[in-house]
Amino acid sequence: MCSEIWYLKIFWEIIKKKDLLKKLFSPTKYLNYDPLFLCSAYEEETPIKAYLPYKQEVCWIRSTWEETCNAVNNISIQKTSPPFNLGTDLRALKAFQGLAYHEFKASGKITKDSNIIRLDSLKINQKETKLTVQKAKYSDQVQSNLVMDWTDNHALKELGVATLRAYFTSRYPQRLPPLSDTHLANTIGIAVILFYQNSSMEYVPYIPQRAKGLINNKKILAVFEGGYHCTASGAAEWSESENFNQCITKDMYEELREEVGIERDDVEVMLPVALCREFLRGGKPQIFFAGLTKLSEKQLGEKRKSAIKMQNEMKDKVEIEDNQLIVSDIDHLKKSAQFFGLTLEAIANLHYAEKFINMYLPNRSRIIRKAQEKFA
């Protein structure tokens, strides 16, 4: 199996080469993807790896499979009411939020305003991870976490700040804002990297390429356009369930089905592995998953084509290209990754997914045997 070295080495090569850094992590209209800039903005926070702009809140991977499963089984959800309302106490901030939503809608970056999950607070101890959540709207994050570096002629400039990020860093110097700050939606993102066994019998990550911009001449993805990305990702949809698996894990399976055509029966194992806060989107919480699919590379390609066809027929946003990063071929890997880039989210997800697969595979036969005995 490929080790952690390949993707971190490429990430470091990009960091060192200003031309590559500017090309692959250059600022967009709404977000500045430069990892050096992001880590500088939050100098008091500790990234999960040098210049990898995510702060770890909790990692559920333990030294043994049993301990890992126990940690995952002790993730709980508590819901609060009423539904979340984005803070609008400042006139300039309210005007900024309204204009940001108008801009996103006009550009096609938002086509429906679904109910998603806000992380209101997080309590962690040795035995349990407790997530307190609220119902929020996708539009709440459009007006906050997704427009952190927008510099157009907006009302925040009346306060003497050029961007929403600058507004928050003036209030919380060099630190991420607390989850309790209602001026940020802090809705939960979910992402997964699945491993598969290639023709050389190596276990390698399935990394599709994210769609590159215009779709149907209008619809544009909100983040990470064009880069090699996680197997699937999205915003956690609101569920009436208070069970983590029914609320969060179930939605991760739905993202896999919609984006790349992978059904639940195609997955041998999948678990949440970490919860981080992302510097790019101002501390937006991200739950990373990892797992193993039973599908071959050829089958993954067929499923991917079917998913893209279905999205086109339903006139949904097509989130991926019919392409993936072949990580077993190091030459192709370097060429592809340095041309399109691995997204920041994919690199962070790989950091945990590799730890998971290295813990799971040595115990795989025993785990499968025990599962078969349990359901025999």
Q: CA 316 from chain center: how many Å?
A: 20
Closest to 268 in 3D by CA, of 290, 244, 298, 243? 290
pLDDT of residue 107: 79
Name the residue with higher pLDDT: 182 or 105. 182
Peptide bond into 82 cis (omega under 30): yes
The kind and range of the H/E element at 287 are: strand 284-293
Q: Is 45 exposed, middle or buried (0-12, 13-18, 19+ CB in 10 A)?
A: middle
Structural domain includes residue 92: no
Residue 94 domain flag: no
| pLDDT beyond 60 at 216 | no
Task: Judge whether 21 lies within some domain.
Answer: yes
Q: Residue type for 210, please?
A: R
Residue 1 has pLDDT above 60, yes or no: no
Q: Is the pLDDT of residue 164 over 60?
A: yes
**Chain segment 40-57, per-residue pLDDT in tens:** 999 999 999 889 999 999
Q: Which among 248, 42, 256 has a CA at the least distance from the CA of 129? A: 248
In a domain? residue 303 = yes
- pTM of the predicted model, to two decimals? 0.93
Return the percentage of the chain with pLDDT > 70, whole number.
Answer: 90
Determine the pLDDT at residue 324: 76
Is-cis flag, bond preceding 178, omega within 30? no
Across residues 318-338, what is the average pLDDT? Answer: 66
Kindly state the helix (H) or strand (E) to which residue 310 belongs, with its residue range.
helix 297-313
pLDDT (0 to 100) of residue 375: 66
Q: Residue 178: in which H helix or E strand, if any? A: none
Ramachandran assignment for 341, one of left (phi > 0), alpha (psi -120 to 50 degrees), beta (any other) = left
Between residues 218 and 27, the one the model is more confident about: 27
Q: Write down the mean pLDDT value for the chain.
A: 88
Domain of 217 in residue numbering reads as 5-81+186-374
| Residue whose token pair is 């992978």 | 262
Residue 254 included in any domain: yes
For residues 223-234, average pLDDT: 86
**232 token code pair:** 């699937």
Query: Is 149 domain-assigned?
Result: no
The tally of domains found in the chain comes to 1
3-state secondary structure of 229: coil
Q: Average of pLDDT values for 111-115?
A: 86
In a domain, 266, yes or no: yes
pLDDT band at 330 (very low <50, low <70, confident <90, very high): low
Contacts of 262 (CB under 8 A, 6+ apart): 194, 231, 232, 256, 293, 295, 300, 303
The closest of 118, 159, 149 to 29, measured between CA atoms, is 149
Question: Is 357 contained in some domain?
Answer: yes
Rounded average pLDDT over 48-72 = 95
